[in-house]
C-alpha cells in the first residue's frame, strides 16, 4: 500500500519541471504548488505557437467550449464529480465561468483561459519559463504535458525514449458501444476460419441490408478537418466512409469481409459481416472493428444503428480520425502516469491516450499527485479502481490484444457490481466511485490540492 503524501513542511525545496501549460500541465502545476512543491513550468506560447492554438492563454480550449456532460449518471459527469471532490483547480475555474449548456458543463472560453493563466502566474512557487523545451528535461522529477501536437523537436525526444515505435501520429478510433445495449441474438461469436476461441461478436448482413447501410454511410455528414490536420491518412487510418467511396464492394474486402465466418445458425457465409471485439476484460464494452470514422456524432448513431444488432446501441465513445500524437501507453506508462523505463518522468494530457478535456485535467491531477510523492521519496499512491479516474488510468495503461487506442471516461470502465439490477447499476457505481475517492483523499492527502479562490 502506498504511503500517504507528506505535509508541505516536510518537502522544502522540492521542485518539479513541467513541460506544457495546457489543461493537464496547468492542473498539475497548481496541485503541486498547493502541496508546497516548487514548479518550473515551460510553455512555448506565445513566442512559438502551434497550429491548433489561437491565443497565449494557458489551458486554451482549442475545439469546443464544452467539457461534456455534467451529471454523475454519465461517465464524463462522474469524472467531474470526482475531480471536484479531490479539489481540482481547473474544475473550480470552469464552474466559475460556466455558460448555459443544458446538462453539459460549457465555459466562456476566453474567461477560462484568462483565469487559469492568472491563477498559475500568481503562485509564488511556480516559475513560468516562456521558451520551448526541445528535449525531455533531465531533472529528477518531470511531467511532460506537451499536448496532442507537440513540437517536432520534443516529439523526437519522446520517440527515442519510447523506443522509436511507441509514439503514434494518428488518432484512428472506432466507436465503442455498451455491451448491454446490443441485441446479441442477431449475431454469433466466432473467429475467422474457426481459429481462436470465439472472441469476436459477428453481426451478419444480407445484400439488401448492406446496400442500405452503404447508401446511408456515403451520404452522411462528416466533421470537416481542422487546418492543422493532414487530409491524407495512412491506409490503416482510413475512415470507413472514405473506403466505401472507393467502390461498392470495397468494404466487403475490408472491415466487412465475411470470408472465413460461417454463421452457425444457417451454415452459410453471410454477404457481409460487422465484427465487434471486447474492449475490456469484463466484456462490458465492444469496439466496432475497422470502423474508424469522421462522421458527425449524430450521424454515427443514425448510420451504425442500421447494422443488425445495433439498433438500440448506446455509444460509449464515438469514432474519429484526426492528427494526434499519443504514446503506446500500455507499453510505456504505469497507471500513476510514470514512465515505465524512467523513474520520475510522468506524462499527462492527451499524449497519454486520454480523450477529452476533463480526462486531460484528470491525468494532470494524477501526474501531479504521483510527482509529489516522488519528490518526497514515496511511491505514487494508486487511485482506486472503483473510481472513474482510477479505472481510466488503469485502462489506458493495461496491455491488451490489438493496437492501443485512446479512451474517454465512460461507465463501461468501472467494475460491475454483483447482483444489481441494470437500472440501478449506474447509481451504485457512481456512489461507490465517489465514496472511494473521498476515502482516497482522506488517506493520501495531507494538503488541500485546490489553490484557486
pLDDT in tens, 206-249: 999 999 999 999 999 998 765 545 544 445 567 899 999 999 99
- pLDDT-derived band at 167 (thresholds 50, 70, 90) equals low
What b/e string do you get for 139-167 counting C-beta neighbours within 10 Å, with b at 16 or more? eebbbbbbbbbbbeebbebbbebbeeebb
**DSSP SS3 for 107:** strand
Do the domain assignments include residue 450?
no
Q: Can you tell me the distance from the alpha carbon of 408 to that of 314, in angstroms, rounded to the nearest whole number? A: 15
Do the domain assignments include residue 186?
yes
Q: Can you tell me the distance from the alpha carbon of 78 to that of 340, in angstroms, rounded to the nearest whole number? A: 29
Identify the domain boundary among 283, 300, 318.
318
Pair (330, 314) in one structural domain? no
Helix 357-375 to helix 89-96 angle, to the nearest 10 degrees? 140
Enumerate the β-bridge partners of residue 188.
Answer: 202
Instruction: Identify the helix (H) or strand (E) that includes residue 66.
Output: strand 66-69
Contact 285, 176 (CB under 8 A): yes
Pair (138, 200) in one structural domain? no
Do the domain assignments include residue 453?
no
Mean pLDDT taken over the chain: 87
**More confident of the two residues 98 and 116:** 116
Do the domain assignments include residue 425?
yes
Contacts of 204 (CB under 8 A, 6+ apart): 187, 188, 258, 261, 263, 270, 271, 272, 273, 308
Q: What CATH number is given to the structural domain containing 412?
A: 3.50.50.60
Instruction: Identify the helix (H) or strand (E) that includes residue 169.
Output: strand 167-173
Percent of the chain at pLDDT exceeding 70: 88
pTM of the model: 0.73
Joined grid coordinates for residue 175: 466507436
Pair (232, 340) in one structural domain? no
- pLDDT-derived band at 11 (thresholds 50, 70, 90) equals very low
Residue 159's domain comprises: 8-172+322-444
Identify the domain boundary among 318, 345, 375.
318
Identify the domain boundary among 291, 318, 345.
318
Pair (19, 162) in one structural domain? yes
Query: What share of residues in the chain are helix, strand, coil (percent, to 5)?
Result: 35, 15, 45
Give the pLDDT confidence of 359-414 residue by residue, as tens digits: 999 999 999 999 999 999 999 999 999 999 999 999 999 988 777 888 899 999 99
Q: How far is CA 31 from CA 25, 62, 368, 415, in A?
A: 10, 23, 6, 28
Do the domain assignments include residue 432?
yes
Number of domains present in the structure of the chain: 2
Q: What CATH number is given to the structural domain containing 243?
A: 2.40.30.260
Q: How far is CA 164 from CA 100, 158, 160, 268, 328, in A?
A: 45, 9, 5, 45, 11
Do the domain assignments include residue 3?
no
Enumerate the β-bridge partners of residue 201.
Answer: 189, 276
Amino acid at each position: 500500500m502506498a504511503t500517504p503524501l507528506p505535509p508541505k513542511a516536510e518537502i522544502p525545496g522540492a521542485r518539479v519541471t513541467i513541460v506544457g501549460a495546457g489543461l493537464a500541465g496547468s492542473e498539475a502545476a497548481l496541485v503541486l504548488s498547493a502541496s508546497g512543491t516548487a514548479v518550473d513550468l515551460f510553455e512555448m506560447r506565445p513566442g512559438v505557437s502551434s497550429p491548433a492554438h489561437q491565443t497565449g492563454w494557458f489551458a486554451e480550449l482549442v475545439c469546443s467550449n464544452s467539457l461534456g456532460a455534467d451529471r454523475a449518471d454519465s461517465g464524463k459527469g462522474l469524472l467531474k464529480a470526482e475531480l471536484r471532490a479531490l479539489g481540482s483547480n481547473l474544475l473550480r475555474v470552469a464552474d466559475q465561468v460556466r455558460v448555459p449548456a443544458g446538462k453539459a458543463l460549457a465555459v466562456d472560453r476566453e474567461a477560462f483561459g484568462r483565469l487559469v493563466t492568472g491563477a498559475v502566474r500568481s503562485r509564488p512557487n511556480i516559475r513560468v519559463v516562456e521558451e520551448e523545451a526541445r528535449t525531455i528535461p533531465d531533472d529528477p522529477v518531470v511531467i511532460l504535458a506537451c499536448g496532442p501536437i507537440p513540437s517536432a523537436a520534443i516529439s523526437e525526444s519522446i520517440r527515442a525514449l519510447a523506443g522509436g515505435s511507441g509514439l503514434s501520429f494518428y488518432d484512428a478510433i472506432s466507436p465503442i458501444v455498451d455491451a448491454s445495449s446490443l441485441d446479441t441474438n442477431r449475431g454469433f461469436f466466432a473467429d475467422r476460419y474457426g481459429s481462436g476461441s470465439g472472441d469476436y461478436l459477428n453481426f451478419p448482413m444480407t445484400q439488401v441490408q448492406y446496400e442500405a447501410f452503404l447508401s446511408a454511410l456515403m451520404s452522411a455528414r462528416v466533421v470537416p478537418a481542422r487546418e492543422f490536420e493532414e487530409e491524407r491518412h495512412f491506409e490503416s487510418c482510413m475512415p470507413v466512409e472514405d473506403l466505401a467511396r472507393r467502390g461498392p464492394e470495397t468494404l466487403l474486402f475490408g472491415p466487412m469481409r465475411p470470408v472465413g465466418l460461417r454463421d452457425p445458425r444457417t451454415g452459410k457465409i453471410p454477404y457481409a459481416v460487422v465484427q465487434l471485439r471486447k474492449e475490456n476484460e469484463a466484456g462490458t464494452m465492444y469496439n466496432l472493428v475497422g470502423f474508424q470514422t469522421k462522421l458527425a456524432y449524430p450521424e454515427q448513431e443514425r448510420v451504425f444503428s442500421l447494422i443488425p444488432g445495433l439498433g438500440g446501441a448506446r455509444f460509449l465513445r464515438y469514432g474519429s480520425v484526426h492528427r494526434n500524437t499519443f504514446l503506446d501507453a500500455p507499453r510505456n506508462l504505469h497507471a500513476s502516469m510514470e514512465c515505465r523505463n524512467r523513474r520520475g518522468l510522468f506524462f499527462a494530457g492527451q499524449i497519454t491516450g486520454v480523450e477529452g478535456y476533463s480526462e486531460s485535467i484528470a491525468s494532470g491531477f494524477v501526474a501531479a499527485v504521483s510527482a509529489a510523492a516522488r519528490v518526497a521519496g514515496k511511491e505514487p499512491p494508486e487511485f482506486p479502481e472503483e473510481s472513474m479516474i482510477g479505472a481510466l488510468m488503469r485502462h489506458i495503461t493495461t496491455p491488451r490484444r490489438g493496437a492501443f487506442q485512446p479512451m474517454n471516461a465512460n461507465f463501461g470502465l468501472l467494475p460491475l457490481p454483483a447482483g444489481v439490477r441494470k437500472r440501478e447499476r449506474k447509481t451504485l457505481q457512481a456512489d461507490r466511485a465517489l465514496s472511494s475517492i473521498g476515502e482516497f483523499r482522506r488517506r493520501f492527502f495531507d494538503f488541500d490540492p485546490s489553490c484557486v479562490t
